[in-house]
Amino acid sequence: MAGNEFSVKLLIWRQSGPAQPGELASYTMDNVLPEMSLLEMLDLLNEKLTAEGIDPVAFDSDCREGICGTCGLVINGIAHGPHSGAATCEVRMRSFSDGETIVIEPFRAASFPVIKDLVVDRAAFDRIMQAGGYVSINTGSAPEANSIPVPRPHAESAMDAAACIGCAACVAACPNASASLFTSAKISQYAQLPQGRAEAKRRVVRMVDAMDEEGFGNCSNHGECEAVCPKEISIFNIGRMRREYLKAVL
């Protein structure tokens, strides 16, 4: 066991509150095991810091299996770190080598103010959803489930888009801090299902407006969002959002 242990140097963004300035602080972690997750390594760092009387590093996480979308760190300049198709909580320490320096920063965007250290406020995403990320159907008024057949390819493609976990890595990775991938994933899911067609036009215009009001940047089609997305949501959804938008305004 002990043979596998190694050390890493950490440069972690510390910022005591939303209005305070922040900076990178340096820590060393010994006894790191390859099978540890990065967040478990940070747990142990916090145990160490607490024992030393230093305020532990604030970071958020929940399910720790890549589905809830709570965690989100920029690791060595890449949102969710070096693994493709994985969230921060799925990053294992075997991705790093002995003596490596790991720079850890929060997701940065004007729309995501820092709460503390590595924790940012992503409520802007919920407000985008409120603008139209739903099918207007009251409980009890649904027709029999099999009454509307959905062709399998449509259902599968809708599911590809619906897999979004709302982690905001797309915004973090985008050079323009655009929320296009997130917003388009929901629009695209509903656009491909008969249930979502009835209010497709209203939805796309309202959600795009909400996205703009939150102050996210525009999209330059770099595709960094897709590359860091833990659920590998495709930028074709952004294309579909634009098509839907064009249909809505023409």
Partner 1 sequence: MNDVTVQSASAAPGPLKSGAPDGPIEDRWDNYKASMKLVAPANRRKHKIIVVGTGLAGGSAAATLGEMGYNVQSFCISDSPRRAHSVAAQGGINAAKNYQNDGDSIYRLFYDTVKGGDFRARESNVYRLAQCSVNIIDQCVAQGVPFAREYGGTLANRSFGGVQVQRTFYARGQTGQQLLLGAYSALVRQIDAGTVTMHAHHEMLDLVMVDGVARGIVTRNLNTGEIQTHAADAVLLCTGGYSPVFFLSTNAVNCNATAGWRCYKRGAHFANPCYTQIHPTCIPQGGDYQSKLTLMSESLRNDGRVWVPRKTDETRPPQQIPEDDRWYYLEEIYPAFGNLVPRDIASRAAKMVCDKGHGVGSSGFAVYLDFAEAIGRLGKDTVASRYGNLFDMYREISDEDPYSTPMRIYPAPHYTMGGVWVDYDLMSTIPGLFVAGEANFSDHGANRLGASALMQGLADGYFVAPATASNYLASNKMDDVTTDAPEFAAAEAGVRDDVNRLLNINGKRTVREFWWELGRVMWDKVGMARNAAGLESAISEIQGLKEEFWTDVNVPGSQDEWNKTLETAGRVADFLELGELMARDALERNESCGGHFREESQSQEGEAMRDDDNYSHVSAWEYRGPDQPPTMHKEALDFDYVKPGTRSYK
Partner 2 sequence: MAGLTDITRSTVGKKLLNGLTGLLLCGFIVSHLTGNLLLLVGREAFNQYAYFLHSLGHGAVVPIMEVGLVMLFGAHAISGISVARSRRRARPDGYKKSANAGGTSRKSLASRSMIVTGTVLLIFVILHVAQFKLGWGQLRDYPDVMIDGHASVDLYSRVVDWFNWAPMVGLYVVVMLMLGNHLRHGFWSAFQTLGANNPRYENLINTAGMLFAAAMAVGFLLIPIYIFLFVEPTAGSSLAAG
Which residues of this protein are in contact with partner 2, per CB under 8 A? Answer: 11, 13, 24, 74, 76-79, 84, 103, 105, 108-111, 173, 175-178, 180, 201-202, 205, 208-209, 211-212, 215-224, 226-228, 232, 234-236, 238-246, 248-250
Residue whose CB is less far from partner 2, 85 or 99: 85
Q: Is 162 in the site for partner 1 (CB under 8 A)?
A: yes
Tokens of 136: 């207007």
d(CA 90, CA 188): 27
Q: Is 155 helix (H, G, I), strand (E, B) or coil?
A: helix
Q: Which does 190 bind (CB under 5 to 8 A by kind): partner 1, partner 2, none?
A: partner 1
Q: Is 31 helix (H, G, I), strand (E, B) or coil?
A: strand
Q: Is 80 in the site for partner 1 (CB under 8 A)?
A: no
Residue whose CB is less far from partner 1, 37 or 178: 37
List 9, 24, 82, 94, residue binding partner 1 (CB under 8 A): 94
Q: Is 67 helix (H, G, I), strand (E, B) or coil?
A: coil
Residues in contact with partner 1, shown as a per-residue x/- string from 127 to 146 under the rule CB under 8 A = --xxx-xxxxxxxxxxxxxx
Tokens of 115: 């709460």
List 11, 14, 22, 60, residue binding partner 1 (CB under 8 A): 60
- In contact, 31 and 37? CB cutoff 8 Å: no
Bridge partners of 92, per DSSP, are: 37
Q: Identify which of 104, 196, 112 has the alpha carbon closest to the alpha carbon of residue 155.
A: 196
Distances (CA, A) of 230 to 10, 38, 139, 163: 23, 15, 32, 9
List 38, 45, 75, 90, residue binding partner 1 (CB under 8 A): 90
Q: Which does 45 bind (CB under 5 to 8 A by kind): partner 1, partner 2, none?
A: none
Q: Which does 226 bind (CB under 5 to 8 A by kind): partner 1, partner 2, none?
A: partner 2
Q: Which does 213 bind (CB under 5 to 8 A by kind): partner 1, partner 2, none?
A: none
Q: How many Cβ atoms from other residues are within 10 Å of residue 28's Cβ?
A: 12
d(CA 24, CA 149): 54
